Amino acid sequence: MRKTMMMTTAMLASLLALTGCASKLTGDTYSRAEARTVQTVRMGTIEALRPVQIEGTKTPIGAGAGAVIGGIGGSSVGGGRGSAVMAVVGAVAGGMLGAAAEEGLTRTQGVEITVREDDGSLRAYVQQVEPNQIFRVGQRVRILTVSGTSRVTH
What are the extents of the domains in the chain? 1-24+56-106, 31-55+107-154
Q: What is the pLDDT of residue 113?
A: 97
Does the predicted TM-score (pTM) go above 0.95?
no
Please report, in angstroms and rounded to a whole number, the separation of the first and last CA atoms in the chain: 56
User: Confidence class of residue 13 from pLDDT cuts 50, 70 and 90?
Assistant: low
pLDDT in tens, 60-109: 777 777 777 877 877 777 677 777 777 777 788 888 787 777 777 777 88
Q: Do 50 and 14 touch, CB atoms closer than 8 A?
A: no
Q: What is the pLDDT of residue 136?
A: 97
Q: Do 115 and 141 touch, CB atoms closer than 8 A?
A: yes
Q: What is the pLDDT of residue 145?
A: 94
- Report residue 77 CA to chain centroid gap: 34
- Rounded Cα distance between 90 and 96, Å, is 10
Pick the CATH number of 31-55+107-154 from 3.40.50.720, 3.90.1710.10, 2.40.50.100, 3.40.50.2300: 2.40.50.100
Q: What percent of the chain has pLDDT over 90?
A: 32
